[in-house]
Amino acid sequence: MSMNLTLSNLIQRIPIKALKLLGPAIVAAIATYKAAALQFNATLQQLRENNELTARQHLFDYYKERQKRLSKGYSSLTYSMDQVLRVNASVAEELPNGALKEIVDSFTSIAQLHLRSTIRNKAGIT
């Protein structure tokens, strides 16, 4: 009978001692997991924001360079148009009626084609 009583006491004490030992460890493990998960999510969010900022900077630089190239093309076209119109104005008195309009119309058509081509080339459209 004493063996049964001792075994019974031992069986009752083992879960209590195990709970005393494992309880704080389980609580610490859960707290550590939660803290690590929060830190991971915060770091992940920060990386996303940094990548988004970098991507926006690259896009800004791309469009800035594209605008510079387009501006150079427009400047070249404007210079050419200026030269043609100056020549036309100087010889306008010598041309028959309507000839100047035909020249300007032709140049306008060529300029429109040039602008379309420039915009497509700069935008990467073929």
Q: What is the pLDDT of residue 31?
A: 94
Q: How confident is the model at residue 61 (pLDDT cuts 50, 70, 90)?
A: very high
Mean pLDDT of 46-72: 91
The answer to whether 100 and 85 are in contact (CB under 8 A) is no
Output the pLDDT for position 77: 78
Rounded Cα distance, 59 and 53, in Å: 10
Domain count, the chain: 1
> Does 123 have pLDDT greater than 70?
no
Token look-up 């043609």 returns 84
Q: What is the mean pLDDT of the chain?
A: 80
Mean pLDDT of 2-9: 69
- Pairs from 70-73 (Cβ < 8 Å, separation ≥ 24): 70/118, 70/119, 70/122, 73/118, 73/122
Domain span at residue 17 reads 2-123
Q: Region 109-114: what's the mean pLDDT? A: 78
Greater pLDDT, 69 or 107? 69
Q: Distance between CA atoms of 65 and 8, rounded to whole angstroms?
A: 84
In this model, does residue 4 exceed pLDDT 80?
Answer: no
Say whether pLDDT at 76 is over 70: yes
